[in-house]
Structures are given as C-alpha cells and as structure tokens.
C-alpha cells in the first residue's frame, strides 16, 4: 500500500476530496435543513419528504446521461460542470419561495451531488486501476467517512451563524472555491492511461458483450435489483430516525454520536474489503455485504441496552464499507471499462429510484404497522436481496465458464 500511495498520492488526495464533498448531496446532510425549509415554505415534514422523494425520483431519470458523459468527458471537465450545477442548486434553494423551486433544487442536488459526483470517482478508479482498485477505493472513502463525521457539524454551524439562506449559499460556494481548485491542482498531470500497466487483476468474469447486449441481459437486472437494498433501507432509517429513537427510548444525542462509530467502522471495513477485493476479486465478496446490516437489525429489535445503538451503527458501517469497496470493481470485472460509466449510470438510477421511494414508504410503515414489524420486514427484504445477489453472480460465473 505504501508504494501505491507514494506513486499515486495526487490522485488519491483528489479521491479523498471527492468522497468528502459527495456528502453534501446525501440525505443525512439535506435532512438538517428540514426545519428551516418547513418554516420558509410553510410545509410539514411529511410534505417535505414527498417533495424530496419525487425530486430524487426525477433525478434518477437523468443518471444514464450522467454515466454516458463520464465515459466521454475528462474528470476535470466533469467536476467543473457538477460544481457549477451544485452551486446554482444550493443558491436556488436559498432564494426559492415556491414548491417548484424547492423541487428543482432538490432534484439537481440529488442528481449531481448525491449520485454523479461519487460515480465520477468510482468510475475513474475502476477504469484506471486493476489490482489496486480496492486500495484506492479505500482511500476515497476516507473522505466519505470524514464527511459523514463532520459535514453535519459544519452545516449546523452555518445554520446557527448565518441562517438558512447563508448556510445553503456557503455549501454551494464550497464546491467552486474548494473542490474545483483541488481537482485542477491534483489532476494537473493526470492521464488515465498511465495506470493501465497496473491493470492486472486477480480474477475477472468479464462478459465481452456490447453495451446493448449487456442491457438486454436479465442477469444485469437481477444484480441491480439485488443491489438496491442498502441505499433504500438506510435512506428510510436515517430520514425517519425519530421513529426509531422514540421506540427504543434513546436520546437524539446518542443517535448523532453513534455516527462517529459508524464512520470509523465503515472506513476500516472499506480498507479491509479493499485488500480482499485486490486479492480475490470483488465478485467473491459482493454478495455478503448485507449480512452485517441484517445483524444490526436483529440487535435493534432484540437488545434494549443504550449501548446497542452504538453496536448497531458499527454493523451498519460494516455493510456500507463492504459495499463501498466492492460496487465499482464488480462492474469493471463484469463488463470492462469501455462503457463502465453507462452501466454504472443505469445501476445508480435504480438505486436512486429506491431511495426516492424510501422516505414516504417508511413513514407509512412506521406509522401504521409500527417500528418492530417494519424492522422484521427489513430483515426479510435484506435476506431476499442477498439471495438475489448470490444467484446473479453465480449465473455470471456459469456463463463465463461455459
């Protein structure tokens, strides 16, 4: 790992920054503005959740286009486009007074900040590296974990000192004033092809098909549907955390502080899984990623200790860490790099659709059937998704051997 860091330290620092800034488009960040948005737009939290969900759904429709651009444009151009778009979106959020303005702001923040930005990083790493993909993805997720541990505090600081309008403008400006200069400085000598002499992987089950053939293959959709569970479930849980802490009698401060353990565990397991990916191939590990989250839900249901919140978050972090290290490499191992961005865009679109549905669906489930029964449904859904991932990978391997 030392040699990898020394040789590619500029690219690595860029990916860390990219991982950090992708946090500004995630639910855990945007949810912090809910109270202010409720006052500015005179909306209830459930109404905000519906608008947020529909905006996220609309954003998902454009992700295949984002994926296509990732295959065609340079990283610096893409980051500039995304940063300008995020800046305009947060500025729009700061000055809008209509529901239409709120919807459009949400849509572009989710499209660019939540989905396109991390997809740029994952695709660049998966295309540029072979045997070191897992390690580089581990470095990228240092930034993601730092974001999860600090962005909430930054946003709360901005809101306390500058109010809603100032806080949203500050977030938008940070992309232009910080991310863009970092990108252009650390990638000033970047050429993707200089890494290809390292593109020797331990194991691949590449299909050697055209993009149209890949899209027509039912195995792809089995894989992608099985892949939605993590984002879908965590969006529902994090957006409606009040239901969970009220059910368990936890303090809000306990829930917030548990994110520190979540971030640390996620980072550790991203690195550990990354080493295993580089050694054995991601397809051997990918299907196991939901098992820690299943354990987390069992802990939530059965363990009443206050300490169980921290343990639960640690197991959630394990699942997220495994997903971080296996998702991008798996697509590269299956399909190569020619149309990796487009395939990733289709996959991201399905995931984002699921996260758009999650806030409203989970609100209904928690309110009408209760937290405990919903948690058992989550475990059943995760178990089904795990079986679907195992089956789809098995079918891909079977075709490759034939």
- Per-residue pLDDT of 98-144, as tens digits, reads 899 999 999 999 889 888 888 888 777 777 776 666 677 777 778 88
Separation of alpha carbons 200 and 192, rounded Å: 15
pLDDT at 194: 45
pLDDT at residue 343 tops 50: yes
In the structure, how many helices (H) and strands (E) does the chain have? 20, 0
Separation of alpha carbons 105 and 84, rounded Å: 13
Are 52 and 359 within 8 A, CB to CB? yes
Fold of the domain spanning 2-190+201-401: Growth Hormone; Chain: A; (1.20.1250)
pLDDT at residue 35 tops 90: no
Residue with tokens 């300490």: 307
pLDDT > 90: what percent of the chain? 30
Out of 165-174, 195-204, 251-260, 386-395, which region has the weakest mean confidence (pLDDT)?
195-204
pLDDT at 202: 47
Residue 193's alpha-carbon distances to 67, 142, 199, 264, 323, in angstroms, are 19, 25, 10, 33, 26
Out of 168-182, 259-273, 326-340, 376-390, which region has the weakest mean confidence (pLDDT)?
326-340
Out of 104-113, 121-130, 247-256, 389-398, which region has the weakest mean confidence (pLDDT)?
121-130
Separation of alpha carbons 131 and 281, rounded Å: 9
What is the three-class DSSP state of 61?
Answer: coil
Nearest CA to 328 out of 186, 145, 120, 143 is that of 120
pLDDT at 75: 86
Dihedral sign for Cα 97, 98, 104, 106, please.
Answer: positive
Separation of alpha carbons 332 and 339, rounded Å: 9
**Model pTM score:** 0.76
DSSP letter, residue 113? I
pLDDT confidence tier of residue 197, bands split at 50, 70 and 90: very low
Which pair of tokens denotes residue 267? 């980072």
Separation of alpha carbons 366 and 236, rounded Å: 10
- Which element (helix H / strand E) includes 288? none
Q: Please list the alpha-helical segments (H only) found in 187-248.
A: 211-215, 218-226, 229-239, 241-248
DSSP letter, residue 73? S
Please provide residue 354's backbone torsions phi and psi, each rounded to the nearest 5 degrees.
-65, -40
Give the chain's mean pLDDT: 83
Neighbours of 401 (CB within 10 A): 7
pLDDT at residue 149 tops 90: no
User: Using only C-alpha atoms, what is the Rg of the chain?
Assistant: 20
Helix axes 340-368, 229-239, angle to 10 degrees: 40
Out of 116-125, 156-165, 382-391, which region has the weakest mean confidence (pLDDT)?
116-125
Neighbours of 200 (CB within 10 A): 9
pLDDT confidence tier of residue 176, bands split at 50, 70 and 90: very high
pLDDT at residue 394 tops 90: no
pLDDT at residue 286 tops 60: yes
pLDDT at residue 192 tops 70: no
Sequence-separated (6 or more) residues with CB below 8 Å from residue 315: 265, 292, 293, 295, 296, 299
For residues 135 and 197, which has the higher predicted lDDT (pLDDT)? Answer: 135
Task: Give the N- to C-terminal CA distance of the chain in Å, as an integer.
Answer: 36
Dihedral sign for Cα 321, 149, 24, 186, please.
Answer: negative
Residue with tokens 């690595």: 12
């Amino acid at each position: 790992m030392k040699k990898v860091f020394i040789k590619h330290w500029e690219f690595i620092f860029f990916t860390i920054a990219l991982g950090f800034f992708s946090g500004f488009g995630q639910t855990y960040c945007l949810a912090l503005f809910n109270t202010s948005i409720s006052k500015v737009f005179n909306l209830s939290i459930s109404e905000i959740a519906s608008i947020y969900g529909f905006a996220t759904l609309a954003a998902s429709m454009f992700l295949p286009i984002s994926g296509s651009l990732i295959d065609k444009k340079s990283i610096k151009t893409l980051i500039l486009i995304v940063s300008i778009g995020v800046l305009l979106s947060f500025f729009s959020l700061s000055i809008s007074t209509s529901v239409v303005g709120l919807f459009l702001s949400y849509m572009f923040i989710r499209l660019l900040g939540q989905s396109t930005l991390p997809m740029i990083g994952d695709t660049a790493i998966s295309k540029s590296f072979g045997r070191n993909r897992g390690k580089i993805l581990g470095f990228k997720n240092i930034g993601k974990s730092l974001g999860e541990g600090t962005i909430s505090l930054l946003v709360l600081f901005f809101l306390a000192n500058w109010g809603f309008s100032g806080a949203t403008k500050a977030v938008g400006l940070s992309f232009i004033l910080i991310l863009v200069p970092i990108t252009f400085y650390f990638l000033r000598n970047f050429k993707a092809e200089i890494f290809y002499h390292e593109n020797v992987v331990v194991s691949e089950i590449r299909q050697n098909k055209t993009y149209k053939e890949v899209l027509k293959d039912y195995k792809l959709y089995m894989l992608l549907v099985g892949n939605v569970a993590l984002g879908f479930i965590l969006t529902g849980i994090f957006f409606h955390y009040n239901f969970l802490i009220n059910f368990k009698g936890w303090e809000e401060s306990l829930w917030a502080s548990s994110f520190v353990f979540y971030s640390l565990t996620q980072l550790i397991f991203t690195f550990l899984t990354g080493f295993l990916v580089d050694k054995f191939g991601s397809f051997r590990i990918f299907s196991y990623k939901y098992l820690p989250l299943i354990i987390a839900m069992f802990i939530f249901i059965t363990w009443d200790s206050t300490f169980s919140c921290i343990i639960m978050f640690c197991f959630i972090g394990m699942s997220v860490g495994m997903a971080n290290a296996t998702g991008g490499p798996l697509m590269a191992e299956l399909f190569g790099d020619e149309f990796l961005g487009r395939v990733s865009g289709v996959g991201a679109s399905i995931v984002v659709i699921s996260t758009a549905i999650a806030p409203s669906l989970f609100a209904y489930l928690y309110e009408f059937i209760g937290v405990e029964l919903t948690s058992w449904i989550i475990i059943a859904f995760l178990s089904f998704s795990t079986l679907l991932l195992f089956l789809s990978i098995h079918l891909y391997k079977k075709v490759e051997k034939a």
